[in-house]
Structure 1
């Protein structure tokens, strides 16, 4: 089971579970985008109560969810391998363009080396790959003391933050 980091700490028990499209959707289910597209009317009551999450594959884009992203308490974005950077773009667009304010979760091949950058684009929780060491994970969020570019976690670039 993946080690989950949320709000700067490890979470012992997380209720959210990815389910297959043929399984019954219950509270705290992460469903596929395809299922949401085909069964939105029957799933909407669960979503309205904040008890439904969405699982996005890396080949799905933020515009496929668009404003509907606000229906979900959690959106999990899959990183099938650590070299696949499409999840970063999905996160940034969901936060910046579609104003998603819920829990944006990185899942899959999530390594400690990626945490700092994932936070910068808007991820708020991280399901680490099983072989990652907990004792190093939280320190990875402060890998760099002052990033140069503006991002979701700090809008102003470094030159705008320096007082003269």
Structure 2
């Protein structure tokens, strides 16, 4: 994907690893809108959803933008139409306190086919907690995607806490990524995916 200040870069293929299933690759059909609007321009014009690019069919919008726009007059019909058609999901920043917005997230269960948690840099692990909270506290059963600075090294931990899809950084090699889930045959900790392995004495 070409550089665009209004989007967050991601690999052209998504790694899906559903609970109880096998990891597989699929085309990335989601544009990730950064929502970094130019404050010097008209707020109404800049709050509208961008045109989809690069053949994308769907758009992930910042949760903060969703909160501010879904009840506003500007472009409300466009947003609701796309949401009802399953073409809009939201992404959470690393410092988002999702527990403060429990009611809105509960409503999102029937609206957002995908939610994502953003890694601003691979060393920042706060988004692992976001995925865990969505699975444990909110009982989120839909897709949770890791986006941003997502490296192969993060896949196993991400899959354990609740992520079931990964928009890897564009420079990551998908063939190597797929092999990460075969590295270990024994699980020593309970996780969202199941209980730890029982070892014979």
What band does the TM-score fall into relative to the shorter chain? 0.7 to 0.9
**Cα distance in structure 2, aligned partners of 1:30 and 1:10:** 19
Q: What is the CA distance between 1:55 and its match in structure 2?
A: 1.5
Aligned to 2:166: 126
In structure 2, the CA distance between the partners of 1:87 and 1:38, relative to structure 1 (3 Å rule), is: same
2: distance between equivalents of 1:65 and 1:114? 27
Query: Equivalent residue of 2:70, what SS?
Result: helix
Residue of structure 1 aligned with 2:196, choices 134, 139, 157: 157
Q: Which residue of 2 aligns with 1:17?
A: 31
Flag structure 2 segments of 5+ consecutive residues without an equivalent. Answer: 2-9, 18-22, 38-46, 52-56
Q: RMSD of aligned C-alpha atoms?
A: 2.3
Match of 1:98 in 2: 138
Aligned residues between the structures? 160
Identify the match of residue 5 of structure 1 among 15, 23, 47.
Answer: 15
In 2, Cα distance between equivalents of 1:64 and 1:73? 21
After superposition, give the CA deviation of every residue in 1:22-79 in whole Å (9 maximum; x if it has no partner). Answer: 2326762211112211222433443233221001111113314432441311112111
Please list every run of 5 or more consecutive structure 1 residues that lacks an aligned counterpart in the other structure.
none
117 and 61 in structure 1: CA distance in 2 versus 1, 3 angstrom threshold = same
Report the secondary structure of 2:115's partner residue: strand
User: Quick check: 1:56 aligned with 2:71?
Assistant: no
Contact preservation (8 Å) 1:112, 1:137: yes
Q: Within 5 Å, which residues of 2 pair with 1:27-38?
A: 28-38=58-68
Aligned to 1:137: 177
Distance in 2 separating the partners of 1:111 and 1:16:
19
Q: Which moved more, 1:24-33 or 1:137-146?
A: 24-33
Q: Give, in whole Å, the separation in 2 of the partners of 1:72 and 1:17.
A: 14
SS of residue in 1 equivalent to 2:146: strand
